[in-house]
Structure 1
Amino acid sequence: MTTFNLPDLGEGLTEATLLSWLVAEGDVIVVDQPIAEVETAKSAIEVPTPYAGVVTKLHGAVGETLIVDEPLITVAAEGDADSKSSAGSGAASNGTTDAGALSYREEERAGTVPATGSVTDPAAPDAAAAEEEGSGNVLIGYGTSTAKSSGRRRRRSGASRQVATGGAAAAAGSSSAPAPAPDSAPSTAGSAQKAPRVSSPLVRRLAREHSLSLNALTGSGPDGMILRADVLAAIDSSTQTTGAQEASAPAEGAAPGADAAASDAAHSSAGSSRPTAGSTSTGANPPAPGGLEVRERVPMSGMRKAVATTLTRSRREIPEATVWQDVDMTEVLALRARLKVQAEKDGTTAPSLLALLSRFVLAGLSRYPDLATRLEDTAAGAQEIVHYDGVNLGFAAQTPAGLVVPVIRHAERLSARALHGEISRLVGEAREGKISGKELTGGTFTVNNYGVFGSDGATPIINHPEVGILGIGRILDRAWAVDGELAVRKVATLTIAFDHRVCDGGTAGGFLNFVATCLEDPSSALADL
């Protein structure tokens, strides 16, 4: 019996809202079959299983918030009743998931082959084979390297499986020395590398955000590896200790038993740090302000949590500066009108204003590449400015589910017409809720057209860990000096917000002026692009 935990969702996300189960208890499933639909990273994602067998338990109810690394589904080998009962009793006795689930997490997070003794139940050789070779599915950030290094999945022979399972049994019976393992295949337990002390960058980041020293923690994983559960336990312990210290010093004149009530409240607060999506409150509701009656309490959805996390981190970490410039859009609008007429004659599609703007932005980024970088933390705690060969251009799009930022990969290779096609495709998928998590991540610069909402201007928030975002407001008829005389022109305001740690005002201002010049004289600009 194997328990599959909710996998690492990427981009530092630690939770997801369960939208629906795609399987039921008692169903027979195969490797890579979608088992659940969750909402996170600003999209709905189907989670595939790396294990095959019979579903014995679904962990969580629809609408509930699931935490990364906590059980999602339990699977047993088909027709193996003995393994179900034995695995169930083992889990009840030690309060943890089985070795198979742990070894899979080690493999996907540490990038190594599971250590000897971490093989799944010998009675389920198919599950063991799937675990060693991995599902190869990297849709939402998990899957093993075996599938990447080979066009076909390598499977162990029956003899090698017997030797491996025998080694696992020997290891279970003796704690003094590990069992010997075969050296016939590089993916067997015999060639296992030791997992690093910290299981993933997600764990390191979680400890850093709560000011915990990893050296002070004792890892519960193999060879003392620190898991996410170890960091969470330390956080909970620290919270309870702080609450107990505050409760031990009640205010002067407090009623008898007030310190005990405060202690209970502190303990309750520490233990309820992970509310589910279905809960509306914890305990008594606070009084309504000014005598107003509370009409409704709505928990934040997974999408809104993801947006809040990204924007809060951006405001907290990035010392951003803003530069803006008014631009005469008359000529670019006239160009688009001509292209639209020509497209109708040819039976093609004319590029949108956003596509033309994006084409000029990409030309500007080729001249000012510092704005298309990312500022990332290293494992050693330092920071690096990462430059890329190309631009993954993100653009803000409003959907019924909220604001999303689809990403056009290698956008610098596309013409204005091709950019229009990609924008239309991604917006359509996003509004239908069919866009994948991969197409919402990996951007290196973002464009935001908030003028469609009637806004003259705004100060856009940088999409962390990018270092720049360009916004454009609505186009208005304004008095404008043309060749020394006043005329009515179509004018809009361009705004760029940039990370001042990476570049200075000269870079941002030069980029903004280049884009503005292209918009004011697009025919000349397109001749050079």
Structure 2
Amino acid sequence: MTETRVFLLPDLGEGLTEAELLNWLVAPGDEIRVDQPIAEVETAKSVVEVPSPYAGTVAELHGEPGQILDVGKPLISVTPLADPKEAGTRLDEPVETETPLVDSVEAKEAAAAETYRTEERAGSGNVLIGYGTPGGTAIVRRTRPRRATPPASTGSSTSSLVEPVETNLKGSEDKLTTPADDALLLRTRVPGKLGGVISPLVRRMAKEHGVDLGHMQGSGESGLIMRRDVEAAINSPVGESVETQPTVSANRVVEPVETQAAETSAQSIDARTGLGITTRTPVRGVRKAVAANMARSRAEIPEATVWVDVDATALVELRAELKKADPHNAPGLLAFIARFVTAGLKNYPELNTRFVGNEDSAGGESQEIVAFDGVNLGFAAQTDRGLVVPSIRNADQLSARKLDAEIKRLTAVVREGKATPAELGSGTFTLNNYGVFGVDGSAAIINYPEVAILGIGRILDKPWAVNGELAIRKVTELTLTFDHRVCDGGTAAGFLRYVADAIEAPTSLLSDM
């Protein structure tokens, strides 16, 4: 008799211990292969698909969409096929059969979870997010596969102070994705399998608005369901209301979690205000991580803020000349400022550090300031999943043109929800271009555990004294918020003035870099 194997939710990296189950991509009774995506989960980092380490028939799904699952607990049970050839398993390779059967006894579940964590620390080879077996064949090995390099995206935009279209993600909410973007997200349509029809982002949009995808005919190639199809269904006055329409997920009908919460809370009254409660939205995923990070930053960091108005006319004119000469390869203004920031951090390394408190041998707390050999420059990007800060690794070694390429690539990655933990959690200094939202200035919250963040406001035509005469110039405001434990105001002001001078005289400073 063939034993059913249980796949436990794998370690998602970066110390994450739980994930929200968004959608099943398979159903009980389905035959699956090794490395086939079986579920979509959302962590505090990104939305990812979990591949199966086993081939066979789906025996049981351990969880419902919207449920929070703990790492190391059962995710799916798979019964291997009687003939290994039917599952695509090579006969000369051993098949992993060490995972125990699912048992309803809590003690055995806990033991299985602990065994999983022990194997994970020892490098057991259990499938991780973004891993999988080599070549996509149905071979289960006890060696940890090599992590694939995250794919670079070529179609993206970057931030610009004068031309917000380059990274103004706010504007992207009002426009549809391009055919090229949709082509990257969509996979081949599989009849009866919702998971093979559309992208995770479009599925999530349909779930949130109660759109039934099971009977929708897509406008894409071969009937693929596109984002514009879901948006049209949302805006259509015909059909059931969002509050009562169920969501189809992996051949099953599941009531949306947010809709159920709204219906329940709509009948309740808030005790403090006396007003009716319309919705209750759980704080999960990226929003939960951002909230915790911002609260910790404000609670632990004694921050101070300095700012300065800057004449950016010369930088704007420099970029206009480069764009005229080469319209497709001219770096954006944010890339130039990023270059000035990395140069400034070399002169003022105190702002590229981390303040650490540790318990010493006597039971007290020892504190130290940790400096780094290099700069991982983060930049704030607004996405439909919330504010995220991807970082450009070793940004101090890149030219303005290469920085521009990385900004574009990472912006595309975070929009798709495919950023890796390393891309989201390795920054040492953050650059925030809030000018694209029409804001002049802001005392930003430091991205913990970093010690400083530089904000850039919008560029406006303002009267400015030039050589003793009044003129109209392109003026922006730079705002630096810093941890007062790592440096004094003189260091912060020196760094801010360095960046401001570079913006006002970019040609001379770029030639010295």
Q: Where on the TM-score scale, by shorter chain, does this alignment land: which range?
A: 0.5 to 0.7
The secondary structure found in structure 1 opposite 2:109 is: coil
The offset of 1:305, in angstroms, is 1.3
Contact 1:36 1:48 in 2 (8 A): yes
In structure 2, relative to structure 1, the CA distance for the partners of 1:2 and 1:453 (3 Å cut) is: same
1:326 to 287, 309, 315: 309
Mark the runs of 5 or more structure 2 residues left unpaired by the alignment: 84-95, 126-137, 151-256
| More deviation, 97-106/348-357 | 97-106
- 1:268-294 Cα deviation digits (max 9, x unpaired): xxxxxxxx8776289994426554333
State the shift of 1:517 in Å.
Answer: 0.6
RMSD: 3.5
- Does residue 91 (structure 1) correspond to residue 103 (structure 2)? The answer is yes
**Alignment equivalent of 1:300, drawn from 253, 273, 283:** 283
Q: Tell me if structure 2 keeps the 8 A contact 1:445–1:467.
A: yes
Q: Are the equivalent residues in 2 in contact too, given 1:329–1:490 (CA < 8 A)?
A: yes
The reply to whether residue 280 of structure 1 matches residue 290 of structure 2 is no
Rounded Cα–Cα distance in structure 2 between residues aligned with 1:492 and 1:440: 28
Question: Closer, same or farther in 2 for the Cα pair 1:440/1:478, shift >3 Å?
Answer: same
Aligned residue in 2 for 1:59: 62
1:47 is the counterpart of 2:50: yes
CA-CA distance at 1:73 after TM superposition: 2.6
* 1:248 aligned residue: none
Matched residue of 2:351: which SS? helix
Deviations 1:426-460 (A, max 9, x none): 22233344444442221111100001111110011
CA distance in 1, matches of 2:72, 2:259: 20
1:373-397 CA deviation, whole Å, 9 max, x = no partner?
Answer: 2345668775553333322111111
* Structure 2 counterpart of 1:343, one-letter code: D
Provide the C-alpha distance between the structure 1 equivalents of 2:5 and 2:298, rounded to a whole number of angstroms. Answer: 41
- What code does the residue aligned with 2:37 have? P
- For residues 198-231 of structure 1, the C-alpha deviation after alignment (integer angstroms, 9 at most, x for no partner) is xxxxxxxxxxxxxxxxxxxxxxxxxxxxxxxxxx
Q: Partner of 1:299: helix, strand, or coil?
A: coil
**In the TM superposition, what is the alpha-carbon distance from 1:31 to its structure 2 partner?**
5.2
Contact kept in structure 1, 2:46 and 2:417, CA below 8 Å? yes
Paired residues of 2:446 and 2:482 also in contact (CA < 8 A) = yes
Q: Deviations over 1:63-120 (max 9, x none)?
A: 222333433233455449xx99x955x7234543285553231132x45779xxxxxx
Q: Does residue 528 of the first structure (1) align with residue 512 of the second (2)?
A: yes
Give the Cα–Cα distance (whole angstroms) in 2 for the partners of residues 37 and 296 of structure 1. Answer: 25
Match of residue 22 from structure 1: 25
**Contact 1:31–1:135, Cα closer than 8 Å, also in 2:** no
Change (3 A) 1:78 1:100: farther
Equivalent runs, 1:7-18 vs 2, <5 Å: 7-18=10-21
Match of residue 405 from structure 2: 421
Pairwise CA distance, 1:490: 1.6
> Could you tell me which of 133, 151, 159 is aligned with 2:143?
133
Alignment of 1:458-497 (within 5 A): 458-497=442-481
Distance 1:386 1:426, change over 3 A: same
Q: Give yes or no for contact 2:377–2:428 (8 Å, CA) kept in 1.
A: yes
One-letter amino acid of the structure 2 residue matched with residue 96 of structure 1? K
**More helix per residue: 1 or 2?**
1
Match of 1:273 in 2: none
**1:36 paired residue number:** 39
> Cα–Cα, structure 1 residues 112 and 18, in superposed 2: closer, same or farther, change >3 Å?
closer
Partner of 1:503: 487
User: 2:350 matched to 1:370?
Assistant: yes
The residue aligned with 1:358 is 338
Q: Is the 8 A contact 2:303 2:483 kept in 1?
A: yes
Q: 1:15 to 1:515 in 2, by over 3 A?
A: same
- Higher relative contact order, chain-length normalized (CA < 8 Å, sep 6+): 2
Flag structure 1 segments of 5+ consecutive residues without an equivalent. 115-126, 141-275
- 2:171: which partner in 1? none
Secondary structure of the equivalent of 1:300? coil
Distance 2:51 2:367 in 1: 34
> Percent same amino acid at aligned positions?
55
CA distance in 2, matches of 1:101, 1:303: 25
CA contact (8 A) 1:35 1:47 kept: yes
State the one-letter code of the partner of 2:18.
E
Count of residues paired in the alignment: 373
**Amino acid aligned to 2:143:** E
User: Residue 105 of structure 1: which of 99, 105, 117 is its match?
Assistant: 117
In the superposition, relative to structure 1, how do residues 93 and 429 fare at CA in structure 2: closer, same or farther (>3 Å)? closer
The yes-or-no answer on 1:317 pairing with 2:291 is: no
Partner of 1:158: none
Contact (CA 8 Å) 1:4, 1:101: kept in 2 or not?
no
Per the alignment, residue 217 of structure 2 pairs with none
Contact 2:45 2:419 in 1 (8 A): no
Cα deviation code 1:116-171 (max 9, x no counterpart) = xxxxxxxxxxx9974x534555999xxxxxxxxxxxxxxxxxxxxxxxxxxxxxxx
- Segment drifting more, 276-285 vs 475-484: 276-285
Q: What is the TM-score of this pair, normalised by structure 1?
A: 0.62
**Normalising to structure 2: TM-score of the pair?**
0.64
The structure-2 alpha-carbon separation of the partners of 1:478 and 1:411, relative to structure 1 and needing over 3 Å to count, comes to: same
Q: CA deviation at 1:470?
A: 0.7
Looking at structure 2, the residues matched to 360 and 61 of structure 1 have their Cα atoms a distance apart, in angstroms, of 49
